[in-house]
Amino acid sequence: MNSLRCESVGLVETQYFKLQKQEKFHLALGGQLNYIDIAYETYGKLNNDKSNAILICHALSGNAHVGGYHQGDKKPGWWDAMIGKGRALDTDKYFVICSNVLGGCKGTTGPISINPDTNQPYGLSFPIITIKDMVNVQYQLLKYLGIKKLLSVIGGSMGGMQVLQWMALFPEKILSAIPISTTLKHTAQQIAFNEIGRQAIMADPNWKGGFYYGKSIPAKGLALARMLGHITYMSEKSMEDKFGRQRKGQPYPFRFNADFEVENYLHYKGDKFVERFDANSYLYITKAMDLFDITASGKTLDDIFRRLNAKILVIAFKSDWLYPIHQSKEIVKACKRAGLQTTFCEIASEYGHDAFLLEIEEQSHLISNFLKTVYKENKIKPLL
């Protein structure tokens, strides 16, 4: 299946839902929010009984714009090649949803949002959030859309953490799950990488304790955090193949600037990231990733996953050293111990952790066939 030859969903628009509760929205670690705006996009149509919905969960720097083009865009959504007519997430069959996570900076309430009580951006007065909080907000969005059960929930990296949280928190609400390039909980090394990124941001004099809105932003700190992160997303081979020891401009005399192409590339990625992401969101979301552990309640993985009646597809990539394959295999073992029908697929990609965004054709084949089986076994009604 070559999804690149199929049809994109074309022009799309981000939609918004305001979650308002008579009681405040209580967060897992004790904070609360009075109102939450949720930015989301949908592709395809719901069938009559609303049983064909698939939720895509995005990674750290992602957003709700997963497919198609916004008016004036030169580039499509971040997983566009997976979504559309005839593609893995076939919009002739499925209703696809993606929302910006709580704490984000692309339309859903986060530290950059205006606090209605002060009429100022939250900044660091925004409460600490968790992956569980993100999933609870997604659940409220599905209730608003009238969707009682998901055909599947899919996500890579931090998106995969959200998939696992769905499996633990709402087992009766999903028919299948596809966690990709993810983990049951961060190791010390994974936490360490995130902490260096956070410290780079907070060491920037423009950060000002998180209250920099309307002033100079902590661009250098955020760019450094992204540069570090981007190194972990690539494999040694992909970096060597792409850059090697190529130099930029005259080889001599050396100065303390971007003499090598790889240095120039990292500076470019850092600068571009500053244009589209909020430094405080980076702090909050990476901390949520570090805090993630679905066994924190004291229940064993066997007990948690035994509540599920869903098919599971776990995908990992051979060259991913940020979320290595053994962490995906731990998910597979836990699911199989719980008696779940679980398939594990290891893809021999050289792209490192970024492979879940780049290895479209093989993922398309795996996900398409998996979803067709779930669709058939649950006798999902086709669109009229």
Secondary structure of 113-127 as H, E, C letters:
CEECCCCEECHHHCC
117 labelled catalytic: no
Structure tokens at 202: 């907070």
Residue among 157, 181, 349, 364 flagged as catalytic: 157
Place of tokens 């001599």: 252
β-strand partners of 156: 180
Q: Establish whether 320 is a catalytic residue.
A: yes
- Contacts for 268 with CB less than 8 Å, ≥ 6 apart: none
Is residue 233 within 8 Å of 319, Cβ to Cβ?
A: no
In whole angstroms, give the CA distance from residue 98 to residue 40: 6
Would you call 248 exposed, middle or buried from its count of C-beta atoms within 10 A (0-12, 13-18, 19+)? middle
E strand or H helix at 284: helix 279-291
80 labelled catalytic: no
Residue 49, exposed/middle/buried by CB under 10 A (0-12, 13-18, 19+)? exposed
**Which listed residue (58, 65, 186, 353) is catalytic?**
353
For 365, counting Cβ atoms within 10 Å of its Cβ (0-12 exposed, 13-18 middle, 19+ buried), the class is middle
Quote the distance between the C-alpha of residue 17 and its chain's center. 20
Report d(CA 123, CA 117) in Å as an integer: 13
- Terminal Cα-to-Cα distance of the chain (whole angstroms): 25
* Residue given tokens 């299946």 in the structure block: 1
| Burial label, 147 (beta-carbon count in 10 A; 0-12, 13-18, 19+) | buried
How far is it, in rounded angstroms, from Cα 121 to Cα 117? 10
- Exposed/middle/buried for residue 199 (C-beta within 10 Å: 0-12, 13-18, 19+): middle
Distance CA 218, CA 198 (A): 12
Instruction: Return the active site residues.
Output: 157, 320, 353
